[in-house]
Amino acid sequence: MVITKEHIYDILEKVQDPEVPVLSIIDLGVVRDVVLAEEGVEIIITPTYTGCPAMDMIEVGIKSTLQDHGVEKVKITTVLSPAWTTDWLSESGKEKLRGYGIAPPQGAAKSKRALFSEESGIICPQCNSTNTEMISQFGSTACKAQYKCLDCEEPFDYFKCH
């Protein structure tokens, strides 16, 4: 069988983000390239956040999933630049997040130096209200902030722009 890049990408669609398992690593945008060589397949990935503990699990997931599909020789290379941004999250990934109860990032990532600024008008994933407010810019994982909905009164996670 001849392995193509598309074939590898199809297999990588099956590797989940361990922290947000509705997202594949392709949805998340951490796979930057796939290089086919005589010696095997090289997968180039970039971390979401530097301390993200999911990255080690993602590497294991890539290797084992490719091996399950008969791709034995796999090398994983991590690059830091260009730095990961939520702008790379796929549209289908954003839909999946919403369905999972996490508000997807709204708008483009930009540096937010302004004090006491928060992303406003974040849409509640339960009731679609935009009458929401931030509880904390830090959440249960590095990629999320905590918000609450002032209409349905449910708290929710917001996958923050980064």
Partner 1 sequence: MANHLHDFLIHLGDNALILGHRLSELTSHGPVLEQDMAMTNIALDLVGQTRNIFQVAAKLQGNGATEDSIAYTRDATSYKNILLVEQKNGDFAKTVLRQFFYDAFNYHAYQRLLKSSNKDIAAIAEKAIKEITYHLKWSAEWVIRLGDGTEESNSRINAAIDDLWPYTEEMFKFTDYELACHDEGIFPDIHGIKAEWDEEVKNIFAEATLTVPEDGWMHDGGKRGVHSEHLGFLLAEMQFLQRAYPGQQW
List the one residue from 55, 149, 159, 160 that touches Zn ion (CB under 5 A). Answer: 149
List the one residue from 90, 106, 129, 146 that touches Zn ion (CB under 5 A). Answer: 129
Q: How far apart are the first and last CA of the chain?
A: 40
Distance CA 74, CA 76 (A): 7
DSSP per residue over 38-63, as a string? TTEEEEEE--SSTT-THHHHHHHHHH
Give the footprint of partner 1 on this chain (CB under 8 A).
47, 49-53, 79-84, 111-113, 115-117, 135-140, 142, 146, 162
Q: Does 58 bind Zn ion (CB under 5 A)?
A: no
Q: Does 135 bind Zn ion (CB under 5 A)?
A: no
Which residue, 2 or 111, has its beta carbon nearer to partner 1?
111
Which residue, 14 or 148, has its beta carbon nearer to partner 1?
148
∠ at Cα 52 (97, 29), nearest 5°?
50
Question: Three-state DSSP class for 11?
Answer: helix
Query: Residues near 83 by Cβ (< 8 Å), separated by ≥ 6?
Result: 46
Which residue, 34 or 149, has its beta carbon nearer to Zn ion?
149
Q: Does 127 bind Zn ion (CB under 5 A)?
A: yes
Give the binding site for Zn ion (CB under 5 A).
124, 126-127, 129, 149, 151-152
